[in-house]
Amino acid sequence: SLAYFNGRFAALDEPLLPIEERGHQFGDGVYEFFRVYEGQPFMLEEHLDRLYRSADLIRIEIGQSREELKGIMDELMQRSGLSNGDIYLQVTRGIAPRNHPFPAVPSSLSLTIKPWRELPPATHQEGVGILLHPDERWLNCHIKSLNLLPNILAKQAAVDQGCFEAVFVRDGIITEGSSANFYLVQNGAIRTHPLSNRILGGIAREAIQRIADAAGIPFIEEAFSPDELFAADEAFLTSSGVELVPVVTVHGHGSIGSGVPGPIAIELYRQYAALTR
Ligand code: PDD
């Protein structure tokens, strides 16, 4: 494992940030999470597109060019000796005395690389349970902002109930998970919330959409309600970190479909794994 902050590489447990860093004090920044397979961050360009877009939307000018960011990521991989790992990258509005208005300082850049956070094989093989949870987030969920308090509170509520993920419900509609996109399968078609300010446009979602298109599986971007989920044949969630995880139960409701991972989730996961390994 290895860390980086504003030009300096260091061990993960070494203090690197001054106390008046706006990511630390305000959550004033954006981030990306990349999975590295055999030395290659998966869908690197798509992640970088989203990073610059998110920064732009909160008016942070990233001090590094794309090529510079790629160079720093490469150096992090090289120095860590990890060819498979998880890279976390965060850009903040910089270091300045604590005051709400934007300071005239350069943005900060921090990264970590760690070995993959492996899930127990049962997660993918047997599927998981979810907890439906009110979506208490702001209305700019398409920005990959550092402010994750509603997400972590919902995730912990799910963990407290023995569930793998919290899935948000806003205005009677399922949006997405606390750290993943969410899908149902009905009559052989995948359905998921359309891209909007109510969800994060996941990069794994983009990969799954391409796989579905190539496999001739309809990918319908149309929101659905909890009742439609309860009537679905299958459900699953995706993120860069967990890839694709089948969802087989809903807390307080019971099984989805037959209560085991469905054939479409299994096939999509097989193809996702084949793309990356
Ligand atoms: N989370 N929706 C939310 C709210 C997320 O936080 C994430 C990812 C996703 C999936 O995005 P992607 O497919 O690009 O990983 C959807 C990351 C992994 C995290 O917070 O650690």
> pLDDT tens-digit profile of 215-236?
999 999 999 999 999 999 999 9
SS3 154: helix
Which DSSP helix (H) or strand (E) runs through 128? strand 128-134
- List helix spans (H) across 113-249: 121-126, 149-160, 203-215, 226-230
The pLDDT score that the predictor gives to residue 241 is 97
Tens digits of per-residue pLDDT, 90-108? 999 999 999 999 999 999 9
Nearest-atom number in ligand 1 for the CA of 240 is: 15
> Active site includes 144?
yes
Return the H-helix or E-strand segment holding 131.
strand 128-134
| Same domain flag for 79 and 171 | no
Same-domain check for residues 146 and 104: no
Last residue of a domain, one of 59, 82, 114: 114
- Taking residues 17-43, report their average pLDDT: 98
- Look at residues 114, 132, 148 and tell me which one is the last residue of a structural domain: 114
Q: What is the CATH number of the domain that holds 26?
A: 3.30.470.10
State in Å, rounded, how far the first CA of the chain is from the last one: 21
Cβ neighbors of 141 (< 8 A, separation 6 or more) are 175, 176, 197, 198, 199, 200
Q: Is the CB of 90 under 6 A from ligand 1?
A: no
Q: 133-158 burial by CB neighbour count: b if 16+ within 10 A, else e? A: bebebeeebbbbbbebebbeebbebb
Does ligand 1 lie within 6 Å of residue 203's CB atom? yes
In a shared domain, residues 191 and 127: yes
CA of 60 to the centre of ligand 1 (A): 20
Class of residue 187 by CB neighbours under 10 A (exposed 0-12, middle 13-18, buried 19+)? exposed
State whether 51 and 131 are in the same domain: no
Model pLDDT for residues 15-25, shown as the tens digit of each residue: 999 999 999 99
Range of the domain at 227: 121-276
- What tens digit of pLDDT does each residue of 158-198 get? 999 999 999 999 999 999 999 999 999 999 999 999 999 99
Q: Are residues 109 and 191 in the same domain?
A: no
Residues 258 and 228 reside in one and the same domain: yes
Per-residue pLDDT averaged across 66-90, rounded? 98
Q: How confident is the model at residue 50 (pLDDT cuts 50, 70, 90)?
A: very high
Other beta carbons within 10 angstroms of residue 189's beta carbon come to: 15
Phi, psi of 217 (to 5 degrees): -95, 120
- 62, 95, 114: which is the final residue of a domain? 114
Cβ of 244 closer than 6 Å to ligand 1, yes or no, is: no
Mean pLDDT of 24-40: 98
DSSP assignment letter at 166: E
Q: Please check whether residues 138 and 244 belong to one and the same domain.
A: yes
Ligand 1 centroid, distance to 180 Cα (angstroms)? 5
Q: Please check whether residues 57 and 133 belong to one and the same domain.
A: no
The per-residue pLDDT for 9 is 98
Q: Say yes or no: CB of residue 143 within 6 Å of ligand 1.
A: no
Average pLDDT of the chain is 98
Q: Whose CA is nearest to atom 20 of ligand 1?
A: 179
Looking at the 3D structure of the chain, how many domains does it have? 2
Q: What percent of the chain has pLDDT over 70?
A: 100
Check which CATH number belongs to the domain holding 236 and give it: 3.20.10.10
My answer on whether 73 and 132 are in the same domain is no
pTM: 0.98
Do residues 16 and 92 touch, judged by C-beta distance below 8 A?
no
pLDDT at 270: 98
Say whether both 127 and 190 belong to one domain.
yes
Q: Whose CA is nearest to atom 19 of ligand 1?
A: 179
Helix (H) / strand (E) containing 248: strand 243-250
| Confidence grade of residue 242 (pLDDT, cut at 50, 70, 90) | very high
Residues 185 and 66 in one domain: no
Cα separation values, 271 from 192, 268, 277, Å: 19, 5, 10
Cα distance between residue 215 and residue 234, in whole Å:
17
**Whole-number pLDDT of residue 211:** 98
The DSSP output letter for 100 is S
pLDDT reported for residue 195: 98
Domain match, 133 and 240 both: yes
Q: How far is the CA of 87 from the centre of ligand 1 (A)?
A: 13
Written as one letter, the residue type at 194 is: P
Residue indicated by tokens 């929101």: 223
pLDDT of 7 reads 98
Determine the average pLDDT of the residues in 148-165. 98
Position 122 scores a pLDDT of: 97
Length of the chain (residues): 277
What is the rounded distance in angstroms from the CA atom of residue 44 to the CA atom of residue 34? 7
**Is 33 close to ligand 1, i.e. is its CB under 6 Å away?**
yes
Which DSSP helix (H) or strand (E) runs through 153?
Answer: helix 149-160
The answer, yes or no, to whether any atom of ligand 1 lies below 6 A from the CB of 181, is yes
Helices then strands, each counted (H, E), the chain? 8, 15
